[in-house]
Structures are given as C-alpha cells and as structure tokens.
A and B are shown apart, each in its own frame.
Chain A
Amino acid sequence: MKVNNVILQFTAKIVFFIIFFFAIHIFFAGHYTPGGGFVGGLVTASAIVLLIIAFDLNTVQRLLPINYVYLVAIGLILALGTAAISMFVDQPFFTHFFDYFYLPLFGKTSLHTAALFDLGVYLVVVGVTMTIIQTIGDDE
C-alpha cells in the first residue's frame, strides 16, 4: 500500500521555516535573553530532522548538500579564530571586542565578537547533531 503523506509534507515545508527563523532569533537574542549558539543549533537541527521525517534522508541530502563533518570543522575553526584574534593585537587569548555601529535599517547596534564565537558553536552543534542522525539513519 502506498502511503500518502501530503498533509505531513505540506505542513513540514511551512513549519520548517518557522522553526528555522525561531532558531535564528534565539541565536541572536543570546546575549541579552536566554538562548545562544547551543540552543539555536539544536533547534536548527530539529528543523532539518523534521524535513527528514516528512520526506526521506536522500531527498534532504539533495536539498541541503552539506558535508556536516566539514561544517563541524568550519565551526571549530571559526571559534578558535575568534578567540585567536586577540593574540594578534597583544591581548590575552579569548579577549573579546565590541563597539557600537550605526547600521542602515537597524540604527545603533552593538556588535560583539562573542557572536562570531557563538556562530562557531552554532555550526558545530548543527554539524554534530546532523552527523549523528544521518549516520544512524543511513545504517542498514
């Protein structure tokens, strides 16, 4: 019997974007409110897992042709690189920098290098979670 998943697949397509944007929101809100790279990464991974449940592993891999192991490595390099910036300006390792900028559209915004570090954490969490799920899912 052929199972028709039309409702699940249609809902998943919409809900994916809601979850994904919520994850981005959590990620950027992390400095002043609960949230940050770790939860943001997990929620993003859960959005991709929803797609995998609604469709299947191969479809999602074609949709998002990402090598998640490389994503982990890039995230780690980003985190280490952010921490290492301070080494080149003669400050102790892991010293962060911030300043206020006037961006068009956003107005006065504080930009902090901790966000870059968090982006590294985000990528590592997404990469690790997806590697685990894909590897177990692929296993025959």
Chain B
Amino acid sequence: MNNFLLLPIIIPFFFAMILMFGQKNLKYQRITTILGLIISIICAFALLFNVKENGPQSLTLGSWPVPFGITMVSDMVSALLVLTTLLITFFIVWYGFGSIGKERERFFYYPGVMFILTGVNGAFTTGDIFNLFVFFEVLLMASYLLIVLGGEKAQLRESIKYILVNVISSALFVITVAYLYSVVGTLNMADISVKITEINQPGIVTVIAVLFLLVFGMKAAIFPLYFWLPNAYAAPPIPVLALFGALLTKVGVYAIMRTYTLFFTHDLAFTHELLLVLAILTIIAGSIGALAHFDVKQIIIYNIVIAVGVILFGVAQMNEVGLEGAVFYLIHDMIIKAALFMLIGIVIYVTGTTNLKKMGGLMKNYPSLGWFYLIAALGLAGVPPLSGFIGKLLIIQGGFQAGNTWSSIFILASSIVVLLSVIRIFIYAFWGEQGQVSNNINKTTFNIMFFPTVLLVFISILYGVGTEFIVPFMDDAAKVLSDPSIYTDAVLKGGN
C-alpha cells in the first residue's frame, strides 16, 4: 500500500514524542532533532520524485472506501510544499543552535518545532476539510508554545492577542465547515468538489466561499485581517520568527489556494474578483507598513504581508500561468523569507539593536554578511537571475491573460516598494559611518548562525538559476490546480 506519503508527517511526529524524554539533555535534543529532520527530508525528496513519476498519490486511512475515511492526498503542490517546509526547518533549527538560548532549548523548544512540522505537513497533505482543521490546530497549538516560550514581557503580551485571534478564526472555521457539511453532506475534499459541481454552486456556497476566505485570510494575514501579525511576529526570538514567517501564513495561503481552485470554481466573477481586490489591498497595506518602519524586524514582517497579496493575486487569475506563478512564488517566498529573517537576526546580533537609524558601517567588518544580504534582498524583489523573478513574471503574465492589465502593472510597481524597503536596510546598516556595535559578539555563535543562512541563500540562488529544472514540477502543480478533475479522479478513482 501507499503509506509512503505519510512519512513526512509521521516522522516529525514520532521524533517530537521521543524528544519529550530527556528534556534537559541538550546534546540528545539537538542530535535527535537534526536526525529526524534529515530522515524526513530524504522521505520528502523520494515522495516528490514518486509524485513526479506516478501522478498524485492518495491514501484513505484505515482501509475505508474513499469518501468515508480520511483521505491523504499528495499531489505536486503539496509534495513541493512539504519538501520546502522540511528543508527550511532544518536550516532554522541549525541556526537556532547559536541563538535560541539554552533555557528555551531545555524547555520543549525542539518538540514544539517538530509538532509544528507535523501540523504544517499534515495541512499540506490532507484531503479532508475537517482533518485540515485538526492539522491547523496542531500547528497553532505548537506555535502558541513557541511564541510564549521564554516568558518575556512582550512575548506574554503578544501571545494573548495571537491566541485570541486564532481561537476566533478557528471557531469560524468550524462554523464554516458545519455550513458546508449541511449543504453538501460530505467532508472529503474531492467529494465536496464533485458535489458542488453537481449543484452548480448556488448562492449559499458562494457565501461559504467568502467565509472560508475570512477564516483562511485571518491565518494568512490578508488585508483587513492582518492587524494581529506585525506585533505578534515581532515578539518571539529570531529562529521562531523565521519559522513562523516562512511557514504559518503560507499554510493559510495554501488553504485559500486549495479551496478556491478545487471547490469554488463556478462563480469566478464574484469569488475570485473579491480575492483579487483583497490581494491588491493586502499589497498596499503591506507596502505602507514596509516603508513606514525603521525597525528591521517590522520591515521584513510587512514584506510577508506583501508576498501573501502577490501569491493570492496569482491564485485569483484562475488560469494555468497565474497558478504556476503562484506556486513558484509561494515556494520562493518561503525560502527567501526564512533567509531574510535569519540574516537580519545576525545583523541584530552584531549590532544589538533593531533600530535601523542606530546601525551603520557593517560592510567594513562583515563584508560577506553584507553581500549575502544584498543577494537575498535582490532575490526578494525579483531581479532576473534570482529566485523571485520567474514567479512574479508568471503571475503578471497570468494577470495580462485574464485581462487584469492595470492590477498587473500595479504588482510590478509593488516590486519597487519591496526593493526599496529591503535595500534601505542594506544602505542604513551596511554603508556609512560605524554605528552601534554589540560588545559581546562570540565568533563561534556568529559562525553557527552564519553558515545555515549562507546555505539557505545559496538554495534560493539555485532556485532562481536552476528554474529550468524546477519548471516540470511546477507545470504539474499548476495542472492539478487549474483542473480539479485531476485531483478528484486521483482520489475517487485512483485510491481504493
């Protein structure tokens, strides 16, 4: 049987359990975590190539016939996202060895990371809408632990807001699933898709579509619902922030992408138009925030909001080019956001401040850090050989194809704002007079933080330069998204 697609979920889960033993033994904790991540990454690679060879894989738990059991589906989109998630977490955990601090490491930091991985990979892989809710809760519970772990004043304050917002959105999620269940009478995502096509999406299903946008938009931080994100993400230490910034909002984006390409495809004039408008407003709100702040953390955090808008703009086009661009940009953004947070983490470590105006002249003592930051910044903005280019290109091409000329030009213009916001960090922190420098910089700690960051920047460069190799995978992903019947056939007919 095809149990293989479960391994990227089960392995982190198992390692999280055995990490609950030996809480004080740092060596055991670190080695076990790294081992678990490496095994999961190998499995995710094998899964990716398996999906490439044999098409979408599906497995219904407990040998039940298809719409009655929980189905797990690994198509190209989810296989790519699972692999990216595991790779990024590997580098962030490595980076954390230098910066997370022994106190946190002794208090269930690593089990928390592994449980978050279980939730994220599960949410990417599941084919059941209620199971998606459960995996959302798994990753949110683990993120509550990580956001409050350490118990600093800011963390305590922001975790209350974060938990409150997420509890409300989770309750809304349950209510929305209840509405959907009472209309279509099934929870299996492929089956829901077929049933909605049969009844040809009456008004109530469109209402449910908007409710889903509300729920997932709160998790993904789209325009009117992003208010909680900037402060909540600034509270935890940098490795946790990198993990959140790279993974959590992207799960919400994935869920919007999945529901809007699989379920609600019959009233595009309303649902996808709404998504388009919200995506544009999200980009505007993010751009304003990114330019307004002089705090390095806040600048990158607002860039998350911008990227969410850009990806959802690609989804709203609902043509194959736009969707391919959205998947390209989604994975690029996960990698580059993790890399950028890790880079500014090093900058903060070296200068001892998050205020841009106090920094300066780092280029003299840390030239390699400066150049890698510049590469990551240009990659984020989408300068051609680097990773952000092809995704945005395809998204805009999709926009023109769908006839949204002005909004596509607007996306192009937003790239300039993104570039301006991150280059400002480069100019203020690396050029000019020598600014504030932290007086206890440990060379080993610096190196532990620096190497994984450099490797991640290299991966982002490879992702941009080696687009040729990635395109076949992305083509498959875009096909699955733009033609729901591939997905439903794989589940309802393929898996038995």
Contact = CB atoms under 8 A, between A and B. Distances in A.
Interface of A: 69-70, 72-73, 76-77, 80, 84, 86-87, 90-96
Contacts of A80: 10, 13-14, 17
B174 to A, nearest CB: 18
Interface string B41-78: 00000000000000000011111000000000000000
Contact of A77 (B3, B17, B60, B63): B17
B31 interface: no
Contacts of B60: 92
Interface residues of B, number: 17
B43 to A, nearest CB: 13
B70 to A, nearest CB: 8
B269 interface: no
A70 B20 contact: yes
Interface of A is mostly: helix
Could you say which of A73, A76, A93 has the most chain B C-beta atoms within 10 Å of its C-beta? A93
Interface string B1-44: 11100100010011001101101000000000000000000000
A77 B61 CA distance: 18
A8 B369 CA distance: 68
A59 to B, nearest CB: 25
A5 B14 CA distance: 45
Interface string B373-402: 000000000000000000000000000000
Interface of B: 1-3, 6, 10, 13-14, 17-18, 20-21, 23, 59-63
Contacts of B21: 70, 73
Contact of B61 (A73, A76, A90, A93): A93
7 contacts: A70-B20, A80-B17, A92-B60, A93-B3, A93-B10, A93-B62, A95-B61
Given A93-B3, A95-B63, A84 B17 contact: no
Nearest to B60: A92
Contact of A73 (B3, B10, B17): B17
Given A73-B17, A73-B20, A73-B21, 13 more contacts: A69-B23, A73-B18, A77-B18, A80-B14, A80-B17, A90-B1, A91-B1, A92-B1, A92-B60, A93-B6, A93-B59, A93-B61, A96-B62
A84 B11 CA distance: 11
A70 B111 CA distance: 13
A92 B63 contact: yes
Given A70-B21, A72-B20, A73-B20, A94 B14 contact: no
Contacts of A69: 20, 23
A93 B13 CA distance: 14
A68 B136 CA distance: 26
A94 B61 CA distance: 6
A132 to B, nearest CB: 14
B58 to A, nearest CB: 10
A120 to B, nearest CB: 11
A77 B19 CA distance: 11
A96 B62 CA distance: 7
A69 B19 CA distance: 11
A87 B21 CA distance: 25
A116 B172 CA distance: 34
B10 A91 contact: no
A64 to B, nearest CB: 19
B59 A92 contact: yes
B20 A92 contact: no
Nearest to A69: B20
Could you say which of B3, B18, B20, B61 has the most chain A C-beta atoms within 10 Å of its C-beta? B3
Contacts of A70: 20-21
A92 B3 contact: yes
A95 to B, nearest CB: 4
Contacts of A72: 20
Contacts of B63: 86, 91-92, 95
A33 B20 CA distance: 34
Contacts of A91: 1, 63
Nearest to A95: B63
B408 to A, nearest CB: 44
Given A80-B10, A84-B10, A87-B3, A94 B17 contact: no
Nearest first, the 3 closest Cβ-Cβ pairs linking A and B are: A73-B20, A94-B61, A94-B62
Contacts of B20: 69-70, 72-73
Contacts of B3: 87, 92-93
A76 B17 contact: yes
A106 B2 CA distance: 38
